[in-house]
Amino acid sequence: MSPTATDTPGAASAPAVPATMREALNRALDEALAEDPATLVFGEDVGRLGGVFRVTEGLQRRHGEHRVFDTPLAEAAIAGMSVGLAMNGWRPVPELQFDGFAYPAMDQIVNQIARMNYRSRGAAPMPVTVRIPSFGGIQAPEHHGESLEAVFAHVPGLKVAAPSDAPDAYRLLLQSVRCDDPVVFLEPKARYWDRSPSPAGAGPVEDAAVGTSRVVRPGRHATLVAWGAMVHRCLQAAEAAAEDGVELEVVDLRWLKPIDAAGLAESVGRTRRAVVVHEAPLTAGLGGEVSALITEGAFSRLAAPVQRVAGFDVVYPAGPLEPQYLPTVDRILFAVQRTFE
């Protein structure tokens, strides 16, 4: 686990990471395009429009239409062409416009991108970063609020990342693009515009090394584990608990594959209690995996069974019901309470 980072000396010379995740991701893509002429950014509406969330804004103008381009509306082809591009020396960073529309690309991601390195015995690596605006919280239409991390994490050959704040989104995305394995990069769209300062500060890119988690709030009574927008929700819960003298540690998992098992064991080894929180439905969600890793790594230290607070096993609901679907601060605190019973 990386230390709770503070602003590193020397970082002063580099321009500060932008305040919002949308801008931070934009900066990371800009730098990735600048540092490696093999990097390509493409997808639906990412060129001229700059993406529906404006994450790719200005990139086409700066790096040219041959390196940042709009594709036809065809997710299977967007993912599938990444395989051929990678086999021909390019470093594709395709965008799938929304979580729910990753499904039409699934065959190419699972059967092709994830396996080509294996199939070729390492001769054809897949340095592909599939960016997907993900998760809920913005009262969007159907298929615009899905959490697919467990689906991707289950696939051998894929790595999966999900940032929770602007500085870390910058680090994780650069790390992902530089990674020679395929990374599915899940961006919490509910956090794109948020300006609250990163609780962990802005550390160097190296701090995002694949598979490291980070403590975003230290505490000693129980550990909350989350990723994406739920990290913020957990910080709110920790804030509320602090008023009652309960000190909750919040671990931002960041890498959902590989998962930082050692980091989890270390934190829970200290706090002896754990609650894992995610937006995705409970059953077969990543919370089960996290719970198992904690149990395996810190069994003798655990004072109570690991608790899971997740979305319900229902179709992600339309607008007005969204707040009742997503884990609430109350549900997180109830779960913490259960670890003390």
Partner 1 sequence: MLTREEAPRLDGDPALPAESARRLYRTMLTARLLDTEAVALQRQGVFPAYVSLRGQEAAQVGSAAAMDARRDFAFPTYREMAVALALGVDMAGYMASHRALWHGGLYDPMAARFAPVNAVVGGPVPHAVGWALGEKLAGRSGCAVSYFGDGASSEGDVHEAMNLAGVMGAPVVFVCQNNQWALSVPNERQIAGGSVAARAAGYGMPGVAVDGDDVAAVYTAVREALERARSGDGPSLVEALTYRAAPHSTSDDTSRYRDPDEERAWAERDPLPRARAALEAAGHADAAFFEQAEAECRAEAERIRDTVSAAPEPPGSDLFAHVYREPTEELARQRRVWQEEVA
Ligand X SMILES: Cc1ncc(C[n+]2csc(CCOP(=O)(O)OP(=O)(O)O)c2C)c(N)n1
- Token pair of 80, please? 């599938």
Query: Which residue's CB is nearer to ligand X, number 110 or number 290?
Result: 110
CB of 218 to partner 1, least distance (A): 27
181 lies in the site for partner 1, by CB under 8 A = no
CB of 104 to ligand X, least distance (A): 5
CA distance 126 to 323: 38
CA distance 38 to 67: 9
CB of 132 to ligand X, least distance (A): 12
Query: Which residue's CB is nearer to partner 1, number 300 or number 324?
Result: 324
In the complex, which residue's CB is closest to ligand X? Answer: 101
CB of 140 to ligand X, least distance (A): 11
Amino acid at 136: G
Respond yes or no: is residue 278 known to be catalytic: no
Which of ligand X, partner 1, none does residue 330 bind (CB under 5 to 8 Å by kind)? partner 1
331 lies in the site for partner 1, by CB under 8 A = yes
The binder of partner 1 chosen from 35, 142, 180, 239 (CB under 8 A): 142
Amino acid at 330: D
CA distance 247 to 261: 22
Q: Where are the alpha helices (DSSP H) in 88-228?
A: 106-107, 116-119, 149-153, 166-178
Site string for partner 1, 62-81 (x = CB under 8 A): --------x-xxxxxx----
Q: What share of the chain is helix, strand, coil (3-state, %, to 5)?
A: 40, 15, 45
Query: Which residue's CB is nearer to ligand X, number 78 or number 226?
Result: 78
Query: Which residue's CB is nearer to partner 1, number 256 or number 335?
Result: 335
The binder of partner 1 chosen from 226, 227, 325, 336 (CB under 8 A): 325
How many of the other CB atoms lie within 10 Å of CB of 341? 5
Query: Which residue's CB is nearer to partner 1, number 7 or number 65?
Result: 65
* Catalytic annotation, pick one of 144, 221, 232, 278: 144
Query: Which residue's CB is nearer to partner 1, number 148 or number 259?
Result: 148
CA distance 41 to 47: 8
Residues 259-318 that bind partner 1 (CB under 8 A): 282-283, 312-315, 317-318
Query: Which residue's CB is nearer to ligand X, number 73 or number 315?
Result: 73
Stretch that binds partner 1, among 181-189, 212-220, 297-305, 330-338 (CB under 8 A): 330-338
Closest to 163 measured CA to CA, from 195, 193, 192, 186: 186
Q: Where are the alpha helices (DSSP H) in 248-328?
A: 261-271, 286-298, 322-325
How many of the other CB atoms lie within 10 Å of CB of 312? 14
Which of partner 1, ligand X, none does residue 272 bind (CB under 5 to 8 Å by kind)? none
Q: Annotate 118-134 with b (16+ C-beta within 10 A) or e (fewer).
A: eeeeeeeebbbbbbbbb
Which of partner 1, ligand X, none does residue 36 bind (CB under 5 to 8 Å by kind)? none
341 lies in the site for partner 1, by CB under 8 A = no
The residues binding ligand X (CB under 6 A) are 44, 73, 75, 97, 101, 104
94 lies in the site for partner 1, by CB under 8 A = no
Q: Give me the sheet containing 222-226, strands edge to edge.
A: 214-217, 248-252, 222-226, 274-281, 307-311
CA distance 154 to 311: 19
What H or E segment, with its residue span, contains residue 27? helix 21-35
Which of the residues are catalytic?
144
* Binding region for partner 1 (CB under 8 A): 44-45, 48-50, 52, 70, 72-77, 100-101, 104, 139-144, 282-283, 312-315, 317-321, 324-325, 328, 330-331, 334
